[in-house]
Amino acid sequence: MTSQTTIDTAGSGDKADRVPSAPSGPAPAPGLRGHPWLTLITVAVGVMMVALDGTIVAIANPAIQKDLGATFAQVQWITNGYFLALAVSLITAGKLGDRFGHRQTFLIGVVGFAAASGAIGLSDSIGLVVTFRVFQGLFGALLMPAALGLLRATFPAEKLNMAIGIWGMVIGASTAGGPILGGVLVEHVNWQSVFFINVPVGLIALTLGLLILRDHRAALGRSPENGYSAPRSFDVLGIALLSGAMFCLVWALIKAPSWGWGDGKTWGFIGASAVGFLLFSFWETRVKEPLIPLGLFRSVALSAGVVLMVLMAIAFMGGLFFVTFYLQNVHGMSPIDAGLHLLPLTGMMIVGSPLAGAMITKLGPRIPLAGGMVATAVAMYGMSTLEAGTGSAIMSLWFALLGLGLAPVMVGATEVIVGNAPMELSGVAGGLQQAAMQIGGSLGTAVLGAVMASKVDSDLPGNWAGAGLPKLTPAQLDQASEAVQVGVAPLAKGTPDELAAKITSVAHDTFISGMSLASLVAAGVAAVAVLVALLTKRGEHAENAASGAGVGHI
């Protein structure tokens, strides 16, 4: 017996705004176009390109900073600009796909992302790099929810969970594999090649998309018997409020180390962010077609899944940002050696993702997700104990444990979020899942970057004086602090060897103290995520699909 889902998309309780559930998916189409598994391969190529760029740049950051003379805050914006643009645009992009077709938005996203990548490779200033990284994020947002929408429309219900599991594995493997590929490219070619590689990958995704993808969403748009209702308008004010709130929050976190946490500008932006989020929430309950239907969050499991993704990304992305500087600037590794030292992390995510998918299918998501976050918390605590002389074996242990912990979260989050949403809101749910990860990554880099900067600013003067080094002027101390935040010793040309050794020792010890504190904060975030994971459950739609019951309800 098939159950019917309804949800008040405006959050007001008005029955006129209730939309019946769309069907779970058509039968596989014969031939090349619309073939489910070929569709999965096609969207996986595009998704891989976007997910890879989330972490591949981390290994190139030191080379970009050196080549373009960038500051620590500017290097942060290479990551934050991309994540923020991607996160803020995902829900809007999902709405565009629902209205104009996911095939079209996917192809436009692929072309734009590859073009922006090529433009970054040709850039000769940090300002241009950051600008085109923002464009990368915007176009990446077009193709990410479109990929999930295409899978939902192409796969029959009984095979959709398997497709989503593989889709999640591609994201996890690409995210973890970024540092390895980045290390090879930076060392053997240049940092520009990290971006140029997206051009041929984009061409492959475009060619496959033109040949294989079938725009089911466009076919469903005006068919009243299938229960699908395409959006007729866009929540422009909601987009503006959410974008402004997110920008104010991240900007405050990034500028706080230089402004000071007690400065009025810092709290002014934080306050503006809070007001923006409140206004956004209020407006979403009033507009007829909201950007994010707040009725979605009546599902405790779905809400927990979104929060879990944010917390996981804060711990993972924020921690990874400093690990690359630790390996290259403190241990003196080449980019490729740094990437190879992260191989245990990459390998465990690739191996662990399909295993986690099988475990989640058998046990449900709650135990694997909670166990994964426990492993992540322990790994981040272990990384807080790293020192300048820590050997490769100890580092590999913590990196492997981190990969093992992250695998079930990467794979299980899509099922928890999308599976607990009604079928007609699957695009919004898919956008929420990805937005949560990207917002968490941006916040993780900003928050842990602020923790690092504050710790270095606090410890460096005392460590410097304690080593008997020449006294620095306030301007010199600021410059030294900025260098130490990325693990670089502030050495002037011609510094005697003995003095250089002392300065290097102080710089590395101070950097490690900051990284240790940031890792402990990340471990605390992961520990909170364990409790959130206990609130998750298998998506009701996935359960019903498996039993032949159809679509469930929130």
What pLDDT, in 10s, does the model give residues 281-317?
999 888 887 877 787 788 888 888 889 988 998 888 7
pLDDT of residue 441: 77
370 and 444 within one domain: yes
pLDDT of residue 26: 45
CB 29 within 8 A of CB 214: yes
Asked whether residue 206 is assigned to any structural domain, the reply reads: yes
Sign of torsion over alpha carbons 373, 374, 377, 383: negative
Least confident segment among 91-95, 108-112, 460-464: 91-95
Reply yes or no on whether the pLDDT at 50 is more than 60. yes
In degrees, rounded to 5, the angle at the alpha carbon of residue 29 between the alpha carbons of residues 27 and 35 is 115
284 and 423 within one domain: no
CATH code of the domain covering residue 209: 1.20.1250.20
Question: How many Cα atoms occupy the beta-carbon half-sphere of 549 within 13 Å?
Answer: 13
98 and 244 within one domain: no
CB 33 within 8 A of CB 212: yes
* Partner residues linked to 3 by β-bridges: 550
pLDDT of residue 373: 93
304 and 182 within one domain: yes
Burial class (CB in 10 A: 0-12, 13-18, 19+), 27: exposed
Asked whether residue 1 is assigned to any structural domain, the reply reads: no
440 and 335 within one domain: yes
- Per-residue tokens: 419: 């599976």
Reply yes or no on whether the pLDDT at 172 is more than 70. no
pLDDT of residue 106: 92
What pLDDT, in 10s, does the model give residues 472-485?
888 888 888 888 88
123 and 246 within one domain: no
- Per-residue tokens: 450: 């602020």
pLDDT of residue 424: 60
Task: Give 254's pLDDT tier (boundaries 50, 70, 90).
Answer: low
Higher pLDDT, 327 or 355: 327
The SS3 assignment for 470 reads coil
259 and 138 within one domain: no
306 and 254 within one domain: no
Query: In this structure, which long-range contacts are made by residues 220-223, counting pairs with CB atoms below 8 Å and at least 24 apart in sequence?
Result: 220/22, 220/153, 221/99, 221/101
pLDDT of residue 227: 40
What pLDDT, in 10s, does the model give residues 513-534?
999 999 999 999 999 999 999 9
H/E run at residue 249: helix 236-259
In degrees, rounded to 5, the angle at the alpha carbon of residue 535 between the alpha carbons of residues 534 and 540 is 120
Higher pLDDT, 309 or 100: 309
What pLDDT, in 10s, does the model give residues 372-415?
999 999 999 999 999 988 888 999 999 999 988 888 887 777 77
How far is residue 203 from each of residues 76, 86, 226, measured CA to CA in Å?
Answer: 29, 21, 35
How far is residue 235 from each of residues 240, 406, 529, measured CA to CA in Å?
Answer: 9, 34, 31
The SS3 assignment for 168 reads helix
Most confident range, picked from 131-140, 169-178, 467-476:
131-140
* Structural domain count, the chain: 2
Reply yes or no on whether the pLDDT at 251 is more than 90. no
Pick from 288, 304, 320: which residue ends a domain? 288
How far is residue 236 from each of residues 7, 91, 240, 357, measured CA to CA in Å?
Answer: 22, 12, 6, 38
What pLDDT, in 10s, does the model give residues 421-474?
666 666 677 777 777 877 787 778 778 888 888 899 889 999 998 888 888 888
Burial class (CB in 10 A: 0-12, 13-18, 19+), 30: exposed
CB 85 within 8 A of CB 50: no
Contacts of residue 176, Cβ cutoff 8 Å, sequence gap at least 6: 55, 342, 345, 346, 349, 350, 403, 406
Of 548, 313, 532, 526, the closest CA to residue 416 belongs to 532
The SS3 assignment for 422 reads coil
What pLDDT, in 10s, does the model give residues 146-166?
887 788 778 775 666 677 767
30 and 139 within one domain: yes
- Per-residue tokens: 287: 């507009």
Rounded Cα distance, 43 and 376, in Å: 29
Contacts of residue 410, Cβ cutoff 8 Å, sequence gap at least 6: 168, 169, 171, 172, 175, 349, 353, 356
Rounded Cα distance, 394 and 388, in Å: 12
Q: Is 287 left (phi over 0), alpha (psi -120 to 50) or beta?
A: beta
Of 102, 101, 88, the closest CA to residue 138 belongs to 88
435 and 345 within one domain: yes
Of 227, 241, 247, the closest CA to residue 281 belongs to 241
Residues spanned by the domain of 521: 23-234+289-456+513-547
Mean pLDDT for the stretch of residues 118-136: 91
Asked whether residue 372 is assigned to any structural domain, the reply reads: yes
**Predicted TM-score (pTM) of this structure:** 0.76
Asked whether residue 260 is assigned to any structural domain, the reply reads: yes
Cα dihedral 485→489→493→494 (10° resolution): 160
87 and 28 within one domain: yes
Reply yes or no on whether the pLDDT at 230 is more than 80. no
Reply yes or no on whether the pLDDT at 17 is more than 60. no
168 and 272 within one domain: no
Asked whether residue 492 is assigned to any structural domain, the reply reads: no
Q: Is 252 left (phi over 0), alpha (psi -120 to 50) or beta?
A: alpha
Pick from 245, 270, 288: which residue ends a domain? 288
Total residue count of the chain as it appears in this document: 554
